[in-house]
């Protein structure tokens, strides 16, 4: 799937090209950003909208409402992992929450004559495909750069391209400046 160089509108937020994750990881970023926290809108709100989102992103659609609830839970588990990639929250606990999702899917190693061994989803659910991307990006070393904004009420996903991996906010103009102003107020109060 090719997303590089695309500037897209996600819930009124303009996704700048510099946020776009490399390769298949962009699908994870878009999936996590299907909801604009803290109060929406949410592209996975109804079965109909979730089906449309999955199909337009090359994923098998959610089958029923319990499957949809599982998909939304998986999204928030991924967000917790991306928050941990930003040195926030509890990373080991977030990985523990991945266990039941992995148990509900089937993935296996397969030979791809062009590229060698490949992890392939054996069932058609979107979670298996997304888990395969997470695994692949860990091998490629790109996973730790996919992050959720440090502001806890935002946690919008972006890819950190900075040299030293120091980008903490989805946007310096909004969340970053708010955090700076808050720190300044706290400092002034303690003077
Ligand atoms: Zn943010």
Residue 1 is predicted with a pLDDT of: 40
Closest CA to 37 of 148, 166, 168: 148
44 CA to centre of ligand 1 in angstroms = 20
What ranges do the domains of the chain cover?
A: 8-190
C-alpha–C-alpha distance, residues 126 and 106, integer Å: 11
pLDDT of amino acid 186: 75
H or E element at residue 118: strand 116-121
Ligand 1 center–CA 29 separation, angstroms: 14
- For ligand 1, the distance from its centroid to the CA atom of residue 109, given in whole angstroms, is 37
The predicted pLDDT at position 7 comes to 46
The CA 176 to ligand 1 mean position distance, Å, reads: 7
Question: Using an 8 Å Cβ cutoff, are 66 and 41 in contact?
Answer: no
- Grade residue 177 by pLDDT with cuts at 50, 70 and 90: confident
CA 116 to centroid of ligand 1, rounded, Å: 39
Per-residue pLDDT at 84 exceeds 70: yes
DSSP lists the bridge partners of residue 111 as: 117
pLDDT in tens, 12-58: 565 666 789 999 999 999 999 999 988 879 999 999 999 999 999 99
Interval 135-167: pLDDT, tens: 999 999 999 999 999 999 999 999 999 999 999
Q: Classify domain 8-190 at the CATH topology level.
A: Jann2411-like fold (1.10.3300)
Q: Which residue has the tokens 């090209």?
A: 17
Characterize the bridge pairing of strands 116-121 and 107-112.
Answer: antiparallel
pLDDT classification of 101: cutoffs 50, 70, 90: very high
139 Cα–ligand 1 center, Å: 27
């Amino acid at each position: 799937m090719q997303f590089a160089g695309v500037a897209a509108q996600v819930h009124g937020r303009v996704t700048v090209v510099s946020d776009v994750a490399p390769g298949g990881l962009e699908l994870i970023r878009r999936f996590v950003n299907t909801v604009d926290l803290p109060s929406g809108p949410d592209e996975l709100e109804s079965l109909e909208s979730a089906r449309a989102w999955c199909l337009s992103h090359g994923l098998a659609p959610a089958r029923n409402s319990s499957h949809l609830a599982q998909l939304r839970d998986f999204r928030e588990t991924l967000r917790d992992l991306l928050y941990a990639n930003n040195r926030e929250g509890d990373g080991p606990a977030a990985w523990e929450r991945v266990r039941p999702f992995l148990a509900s899917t089937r993935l296996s190693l397969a030979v791809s004559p062009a590229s060698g061994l490949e992890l392939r989803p054996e069932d058609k659910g979107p979670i298996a495909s997304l888990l395969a991307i997470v695994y692949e990006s860990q091998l490629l070393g790109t996973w730790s750069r996919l992050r959720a904004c440090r502001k806890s009420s935002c946690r919008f996903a972006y890819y950190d391209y900075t040299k030293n991996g120091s980008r903490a906010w989805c946007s310096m103009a909004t969340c970053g400046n708010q955090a700076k102003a808050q720190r300044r107020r706290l400092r002034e109060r303690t003077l």
